Amino acid sequence: MKTPHDLVLAAKQTVLEIPIDKAPAVIAQNDVLIDVREAEEFQSGHLPGAIHMSRGMLEFKLAANPQYQSRDLKITLYCKTSGRAALCAQSLKEMGYSHVSSIAGGFDAWQAAGFHVEKPVAPSFD
């Protein structure tokens, strides 16, 4: 019986993982950067320019939006540490997307590298 860890390791064998030091350059060349974490995680901080599509809804949201249906899109995915993103990248490859990558180490590695994180600004009622 496979564990979730086994599934992640298998996915990482089939998808392109971008080293954190190369991530900003790759993102700049891509069409879309997708945060596949949960909504609460995204709201607490995310990579600049990222859109949110949680892992559970990713395939459905891409399929439903004409802007994201081209299988030639250059897509980079990330999550907290890279496991969910690898599983998502594998799934998108199976759907026929040909230019999919994930960020090695995910959001945690991005922060540890000192890269900018966007955080929503709370409304002021003063």
pLDDT value at residue 3: 95
Write down the H helix ranges in the chain: 4-12, 23-29, 39-44, 58-64, 83-94, 106-112
Domains of the chain: 4-112 (3.40.250.10)
pLDDT value at residue 53: 97
- For the chain, 126 residues long, the average pLDDT of each consecutive 10-residue run is 94 96 97 97 96 96 95 98 97 96 98 94 72
User: What span, in angstroms and rounded, lies between the C-alpha atoms of 42 and 64?
Assistant: 21
pLDDT value at residue 125: 76
